[in-house]
Structures are given as structure tokens and as C-alpha cells.
Structure 1
Amino acid sequence: MILLQLTVIGYLNTGKTSLINSIMNNDIVYNYTHTDMPMIYYKVHKDKNKSFCVEIEDTCLETDINRFTNMLRKEITAKKDSLKNPIFSYFENPSIPFSKDDPYNSISYGRMAYFLVFDLSNASTFDYVKMIYLKMASIYDKYYTLKPFISLVGNKCDLVKEDNELIRQAENFATENMVQLWLTSAHTGKNVKKLFLHMVNMVYNNTNLWKYDIEESGSESSES
């Protein structure tokens, strides 16, 4: 089984958690609940002869965004005779916070993909996504040789018409910055599964994102 990772970022009431729920359960969430702490979900996906465990990270505005854009990789260390099932044998258990002071730790080797989610009926949420994307692009160009797979996700497409002005602006921004744009609806499920499967394929095809080197040792150091 191959461990992949996805981080979902968006402003208030963009439907990012509903999007995750649609991926996880193929279900609709009708009541809005604010995400005030980061959460981690795990989705198992099987594709022909390959199996994937996708760690999905739901983010919150209360936590510094820099924490979610870190591309540092974990050093995985293990004894050579213990390399049977690396995903669940020598990764640390995840720590999911129940209060703001609780520890938070994902199990993945490092961040690999991002969905930057905005509400197609709310232009200010697209402004937030543009700001986040440009900030991420600047940081990755300056400090990292490894780049994650990023998708802009215009959610709630069921609430707007195809000639919506915000869609045109998003298409222009995506073209100018050579980033993919997807129009989805967590309510109807439109394009949600396609987006998820496309992300899995894109990350899997970039082996530098998910393959890791094993160092023979007795401990593991965590991502800083």
C-alpha cells in the first residue's frame, strides 16, 4: 500500500470540509460547522494492482498557514529486517487535537498535494485562495526544489451559472499561473471523485513526492 497525502485549504464557509466528506463517504453535509482545529482523515483507494492510503488534512484559519505549507520531509529510520509494511510499521501514530493546546501530527512522509478551495458564489474567498497560492508559489520557488501538486477548486458550482464572472476570473488566474482549476459541488458530487482520482494519479506519477529513503537507525525524527 502506498501512502499519499492531501491538504485542503480554504476560507470560511467554502465547503472544504463538505468536499472532504464527499470524498470520504460520498455523502452530503447540510449543516455548516466551522473547522476550528486541523483534522486528519484516511481514505483507502484501490486502482487495479495498486492500493493507496490517502491522508487528507483539513485545515483551519486559526492555525498559522505556514504550518500547512511546509514541504520538509521526515527522516524515516528503521532496521533493515523490519521493512515489511512501512506505512503502518514505522510511521508515528497521528495526533489529532481535541483542544487548541493538544499536539497535532500527521503520519505522512511530507505534504504532497493541495486543494485550494473557494466558493464560486463568494468572490472574497477566491481572493483568499489567490493570496495563498501566490504565497505558496513564492516560497516553493525560493526554498524548495520539490513542488507539490496544487489544484484550485471552485466549489458550489451548483449555485452559479456557467457564465459566472468569478469562474472567468478563476480561469484567467489558473491560465496565467499554469495551475489546474476544477469546478465542483460537494452538494451534488459533481467532479469530486474525478478531482480526487486525478490528484492520486498526479502524485503517484511524481515518485519524488511519496517515495522515501530508509536510514538504518533506532529512531525517527519528525518533520519540523
Structure 2
Amino acid sequence: MSRFTGDMEFKFVREAERFDLRDVGVSAPALQGYACLWKKVHWYSRLRRWEAFATGAFAASLMSGKAISAYTEHEEIGLFSTTADRLELIQDQWGLAFRVQLRKGDDHQEQLARKVAIGEWSEVSVGYRTVREHTVTIEGKTVHVLDECDLSEISICKRGAVPGTSCRLIDARGRKTLREDLRGGNLLKGAVTANAARKAACDQAFENVKASTEFMYDRLGAIVADARAAGLM
């Protein structure tokens, strides 16, 4: 149980305080969710137009065998995996699903896991080049439907353009394959909840403060004892 009120919990974890992932039952951290969803109309601010991905828009890219990257916030410095190394991508009737196993002991990837766990980074975006498209009119708006796209990367981010994308922290140990999770409708089942992660972070912060306070009192006691022994008190 957390030793703090709700308001204090948010203050402690707003910068994704370090906490042991094992405290939320994760021994083999992995990220999983939907990087893109089909037929979701969204505003693409760079081109200032409405867009929607057609079902299976990335089929050619996935079949090509080329390496597709996983970044944070579309920044190359944030590269942490590719489809040649731990990133798995599968299209289904709903969108583009992904799973990426994280390296334990890698500070950047473990910090990413913590940020996803507490909900700071909970959405996903895709980087692509449009190959083929057509336009339709929906509620008076011209919407560019992207029939085929050359996918280059997915990015874990705070806010993605396509509504409904998701990124959650799971424990890959003992987990079924991504394809089996999709077939069973279990893509997000068993993921770490933001509430559980906040409590773990808050308890860790409490233990850190407690240890620091105890050390200071012990140190002060030693100083006082030395002063008394020296006849200074």
C-alpha cells in the first residue's frame, strides 16, 4: 500500500522516479500495443490535412523484410530497437500491433519502461512515406485515405496523431506470442496499470527519504557522542 495521498503520489512520480520494475511484477520488461489504427480520421498538422490509414496500409513494408525502427518521439537519438532486433510488428483487422522486448540493465530502456508504466508515454506514432492514396469526403471534409505506405519507424510518445493508439508495459516472461495475444483479444490484458506503477514509485521514494533521514540521524548521533566524549558538551 502507498504511504502517501493521491496528490503526493503524482508529485513524486511526475518525473518518472526510479523504481524497481519487479515491484510491479515485471521480470522481463516489454512494450506492447497498437502503433496505428485503421480508418481513424485524424489531423496531420505538418501537411495540414485530414488523413486515415486504409486497412493493411503497411503490408508491403512488412513483407519486404527491411528493418523498421523503434524510437522515442521520432528522434533518432531515441532509437532502442528494430525489427531485426527485438521489435515485432503484426497487422490485424484493427491496426498495426507491436511488441518490443527491452534490455534489462539498459538505463535508457528501463527508464522508458517506467515512463510507459506510469502513463507518461502511453501512445504511439508511425513514420512513413505515402506510396498510394485517394480522397473521400466525410462530413464536408476532404480526407486523404492512405492505401499504401512505406513504413520506416514507430515511436513511443506522449501523444500520437491517430486516436486510440496504445503502449503498455508487460512482462514477456511466460507470455504468449504477440500473434496469440491478438487472436485471444489479450493485447493489453495483464499490462502494468498506471496506478500500480505510481504506488511502486511512491513507495520507493518513501524508502529513499526514510533511508536518508535515518542516515542523517545516525550521523548526528555520532557527532553528538564524539562531542560528549571530548568534553565539548
TM-score category of the 2 structures, normalised to the smaller one: under 0.3
Q: Could you say which structure has the higher strand fraction?
A: 2
- Higher Cα Rg, which structure: 2
TM-score (norm 1): 0.25
